[in-house]
Structure 1
Amino acid sequence: MHAINRGDLDSAYRLIDAAHASLLTERGTRAEVAMALGTLSTAAPPISPGPPLTVGELAFRIGVHAATLRSWETEGILHPEREKATGYRRYGPDCVRDAEIARQLRRGGYPLPQVARFLDSLREAGGEDALTEFLEAWQERLARRGRDLLAGAAQLDTFLTLLDHR
């Protein structure tokens, strides 16, 4: 409204366009996460207790090269602990589960950045069931914001029409 009151319609339109573009980008991110969740052929593997695995042990367990696990760490997909004395990676139960999910998503054709975003969302939500609920609530928020943007645009159009008729 400040731009409108200054008579700077171009800036106002750019701000409106940016809000719509931001909403579209967020819809795309949500869709990526939902699609990745739907790609998983089974529920996330249960977290099994036990001693942490080395990079070689985990690579063997999930059928990838150790270099793949190191690259997934670089991409932010995995966050292994490090032994203080040696600096060796140690993959605890959460990390093993994430590696198994990452392997499944990669086999489904998902690029590394999407896998990282999905796992971040899964961790943030607290598990697959919580992520499903989170995605539903996120969809509702996106729909509400979309409606609010439309309502705001309609009111702005009414206001601009009144200004034109003065």
Structure 2
Amino acid sequence: MRPIDLAREHGLSTQAVRNYEEVGILPPAQRTSSGYRRYTPRHVQALRAFVALIPAHGHADATSIMQAVNQGRVDAALALVDRGHVRLHTDRLTLDAVTEALAGLVDSTGATDEPVSVGVLAHQLGLRPTTLRRWERAGVLRPPREAGTGYRTYAPADVRDAHLAHQLRRGGYRLEQIAEVVERVRSAGGVAPLQATLADWRSRLDGRGRAKLTAAAALQRYLTEAGH
């Protein structure tokens, strides 16, 4: 087979196929007496596996997986696949925790429209004021300050963010992770508008899971073709 024969199936350029060979995504090709590359069914399966791995694991890990297989380090390739599944599982657990925490927010906040002090909010959550200040330094909370006194005042949205952070913190999440989640809530304009974001987030995780199934099947076919 010629480079164009491999490239056409995936809408690639022949140069892309040659580049994939040079970086080790495809195994080395034999050459004709005139120097032209000759590809085999093994190369066809390798390219199919790589293309399937990209949406499942990302371009960088897909490249590393194929390089490891072509170097005979199948155990290293499978370890990379395992790492991708762990990341997906972790992301699902995070989504479940965020969904649960947001559901609990409906009844735990919004009792008053009046801003509260750091001491009052800390008492509500059973925390020390120093903990809330640490969350502020980490970007989790952004309470405004009173003009003149400089005291922190927590509006209802700030109280909501603090309750959400408290629930996620109890779930073992790091402050930098919590800051990202709280920022999603702020950007969405509250808890209710975030439901669509959560549904999209879950859909994308499901898509990654299905992509991993497709990639696993393609990689297994290549391993068989390559004699592993």
TM-score clears 0.5: yes
Deviation at 1:73, TM superposition (A): 3.2
Q: Label 1:18 to 1:153 Cα distance change in 2 as closer, same or farther (>3 A).
A: same
**Alignment partner of 1:71 is 2:136:** no
Q: Label 1:149 to 1:47 Cα distance change in 2 as closer, same or farther (>3 A).
A: farther
1:1-166 to 2 correspondences below 5 Å:
1-42=66-107, 45=110, 48=113, 53-56=116-119, 59=120, 64=124, 68-76=128-136, 77-82=140-145, 87-99=150-162, 101-102=163-164, 111=170, 114=173, 117=178, 119-164=182-227
Q: Percent identity?
A: 34
TM-score normalised by the chain length of structure 2:
0.55
Classify the secondary structure of the residue corresponding to 2:107.
coil
Deviates more, 1:38-47 or 1:139-148: 38-47
Which runs of 5 or more structure 1 residues have no equivalent in the other structure?
Answer: none
Q: Label 1:29 to 1:137 Cα distance change in 2 as closer, same or farther (>3 A).
A: same
What value does the CA root-mean-square deviation take over the aligned residues?
3.6
Classify the secondary structure of the residue corresponding to 1:75.
helix
Deviation at 1:71, TM superposition (A): 1.4
Deviates more, 1:146-155 or 1:66-75: 66-75
Greater CA radius of gyration, 1 or 2? 2
Which runs of 5 or more structure 2 residues have no equivalent in the other structure?
Answer: 1-65
1:26 and 1:74 map into 2 onto residues whose CA distance is 25
1:12 and 1:161 map into 2 onto residues whose CA distance is 14
Q: Label 1:7 to 1:65 Cα distance change in 2 as closer, same or farther (>3 A).
A: closer
One-letter identity of the residue aligned with 2:99: A
Classify the secondary structure of the residue corresponding to 1:80.
coil
TM-score normalised by the chain length of structure 1:
0.72
